[in-house]
Structure 1
């Protein structure tokens, strides 16, 4: 049981306490069996990891990974692996923060800082969510165009209607949302497992892609794609999301209860992110096996779709590619809305109707997508999709630094504060992320070139 001193330890170090719990309508609503074996408890806790993993296989990953594979072969597989390992670490810290403190990352940031800082970070986080939503809008519109021949502008307009879908799912309960997400994730995994097999990648070259190479950092074009992969893999809004949705479980808010919840939550997210790694690696492998060395331009997803079946010699390959793309876009829609609600309520303590929150976020993404598509067509959407992922990468430090600070602070976390090895690893990852982003910004400012 939690003693009074335990409770005081956990609350010390915060300037104030958030007025409400995170995602109040679903907080502490999913039952956990008091008795039962390992697997029964695991399946009760499982689910949040899948929602988090969705963000790691959204349409933005497709553009960057396909481009990376087509232009540089298997070289950037190491980037996907490292990014996924970093994601596993950061998501485990996010889950820890939510379970131990009862705060999501947005609430924790506000509780530890002043209103002005919270407001600035909220604006930056909203930009990241808009960039994420932009990828979903474009990806879904492209998929609708490829499958049904709908013009991109019509597809972009249709994507605004997913507000109704999300509202319907929310009324059915949180576990229903998790189940749908898991089915869609499994569909995407199955499609790419099949496509990788029929693409017949060169195994020795494939495994050599997991060996680090200095040119990844020294080659600006390669670094640009790598940062896009990093931004598309380690998603800043997912850190806010995970710290909130782990609190949907009815675990005991005691030291032992939190230890159990943390154990199963980390296992859940690790398994889900491993699946996401195989999907992301599969996308890049497919791009390398099908297009590397062919001089074919697959910088846009439409081009990859059109060339996939002829290149692989399998007629259904392109159709399956589009189906998985549509599943990816719709999957990401669910978590984007939740993330927006979490950061708005956490940073500025503003609660608005979920449908209005979703509509605002979606319109902010639809407007630039609509304008670019109108002016530049498919090529413009492809470039916008790639740049949206770089925006996410640039936002990462503003989410990662507070997360590592909070979870390493014994006054805030008590017995659950990061141990020295985790602390060192987390800060090392943070420093690398910041340095790479500074390098990218410096290159763009100095050269003034579009290296996408």
Structure 2
């Protein structure tokens, strides 16, 4: 048991990344709008997440490299390599900029639940002071390179919020019959964009890049494959259970509309009473800051791998990438759009990015030149194909829905 807790790390960070403000908001909106009826979508998302993250973790362990490094090395045709890297570069950088805006906006919701909103104008652009503050904190932590030490504190705060939702889900005394019915797929089109958002908030594309890098740094050699898988399954099922608890809380708490952290706090009132808002504010702030660190960091690792840069976190080019992501996140979160809408958009953007990244991951883990005897077997390919087909289907349906609404 002691060894199991010692092995905890990369999987928990992946869970901490997707149990952020986006998860709280999207799962709450799903619960408010559709009750328990989309719990099945969350369960499928968690299973899909485990399947894809296992491939990513296995890749990092066996190859000792990140996903983008492997793609650059394995795509031999120079023209196709350039097209591929540009596609990944664009998807991750733009997607992470949107995701970063959602992370910062979620942390801002936490601040505004306790303090009033403060804005000021810079060159005609209205900037939210809290967005600037959160971006500044993420910037400082990454610049000093001390984020690893502070991440443990953030993870504790996120887990504290997570435990509160698990307990609250029990104390709200939901109708268990209805809850179990929620795990049976119903009307698929009724909440299409919400389903895509639920997938996006659980299977975060940048985590596929980040996880491979984290595993390659923590372990070396395929003898640790069992430990990697155990830690991954435990961590992601924990995260998935928390997401489901949030849906149940929102569905059982009679919330009619969600536009602020105060609205989200209603789901916690049965457990914490009037202190719910402050507690949720702390949780959202911690989740937002933690995610605000991992998103730009993952983007920097992706760009580094795509372009074959040398050097670590302290290199100027590496820093320039995460600085750009943070700046874009602050700007996007300050455009006067409601924070909940930004978070929703970020999750939908991630749902659309997922098929692109998943296909490249699937291709790489089938390369014997990279994976050796640990390349995908028949069953892994069958299950992986189903997951990718589901991701592609959701992405195409979303694009078609948007075109119809133009």
TM-score by length of 2: 0.89
Give secondary structure in 2 for the equivalent of 1:135: helix
User: What CA RMSD, in Å, does the superposition of the two structures yield over aligned residues?
Assistant: 2.2
Given candidates 402, 413, 416, the residue that maps to 2:371 is 413
Q: Distance in 2 between matches of 1:185 and 1:339?
A: 20
**CA distance in structure 2 between the aligned counterparts of 1:201 and 1:101, rounded to whole angstroms:** 46
Alignment match, 1:273: 236
1:288–1:250 distance in 2 versus 1, CA, 3 Å: closer
Q: Secondary structure in 2 aligned to 1:408?
A: coil
Are 1:367 and 2:331 counterparts?
Answer: yes
String of CA shifts for 1:345-403, please: whole Å, max 9, x gaps: 011234643554332111111112212x2xx5xxx322222111100100001110011
Measure how far apart 1:111 and its partner are. 1.4
Does the 8 A contact of 2:296 with 2:323 survive in 1? Answer: no
The answer (yes or no) to whether the contact 2:101–2:343 under 8 Å persists in 1 is: yes
Residues 279, 306 of structure 1: alpha-carbon distance in 2 compared, 3 angstrom cutoff: closer
Residue 165 (structure 2) aligned to one of 192, 202, 226: 192
Q: Shift of the alpha carbon at 1:250?
A: 4.9
Distance 1:70 1:80 in 2: 15
Report the Cα offset of residue 43 of structure 1.
Answer: 3.7
Partner of residue 304, structure 1: 263
- Residue 45 of structure 2 corresponds to 83
CA apart distance, 1:64: 1.2
Q: Structure 1 unaligned runs (5+)?
A: 1-38, 252-256
Aligned residues of 1:55 and 1:233 also touching (Cα < 8 A): no
Q: Secondary structure at the match of 1:224?
A: helix
Indicate conservation of the 8 Å contact 1:297/1:303, yes or no.
no
Structure 1 segments (4+ residues) deviating >6 Å: 309-313
Partners of 1:188 and 1:108 in 2: CA distance: 37
Q: What's the offset of the Cα at 1:57?
A: 0.8
User: 2:124 matched to 1:164?
Assistant: no
1:201 paired with 2:201, answer no
- Separation in 2 of the partners of 1:118 and 1:149? 43
* Equivalent runs, 1:344-423 vs 2, <5 Å: 344-350=303-309, 352-353=315-316, 355-371=319-335, 373=336, 376=337, 380-423=338-381
User: Is the aligned partner of 1:154 residue 2:157?
Assistant: no
Of 102, 110, 118, the residue aligned with 1:135 is 102
2: CA distance, partners of 1:135 / 1:60: 7
C-alpha distance 197-147 of structure 1, shift in aligned 2 (>3 A) = farther
Q: Is the 8 A contact 1:290 1:312 kept in 2?
A: no
Change (3 A) 1:321 1:106: same
Gap runs ≥5 in structure 2: 76-80, 120-127
| Alignment check: 8 A CA contact 1:133 1:336 kept | yes
8 Å contact 1:160–1:359 — kept in the other structure?
no
Larger radius of gyration: 1
Counterpart of 1:288 in structure 2 is 251
Q: Is the 8 A contact 2:165 2:268 kept in 1?
A: no
Normalised by the length of structure 1, the TM-score is 0.80
Q: Distance in 2 between matches of 1:381 and 1:65?
A: 15
For 2:125, the equivalent position in structure 1 comes to none
Residues 197 and 166 of structure 1, relative CA distance in 2, 3 Å threshold: farther
Identify the residue that residue 5 of structure 1 maps to in structure 2.
none
Cα deviation, 1:144-187, whole Å, max 9, x if unaligned, reads: 1102334371111111212213344x348x4x355334423321
Describe the shift of the 1:161–1:340 C-alpha distance in structure 2 as closer, same or farther (beyond 3 A): same
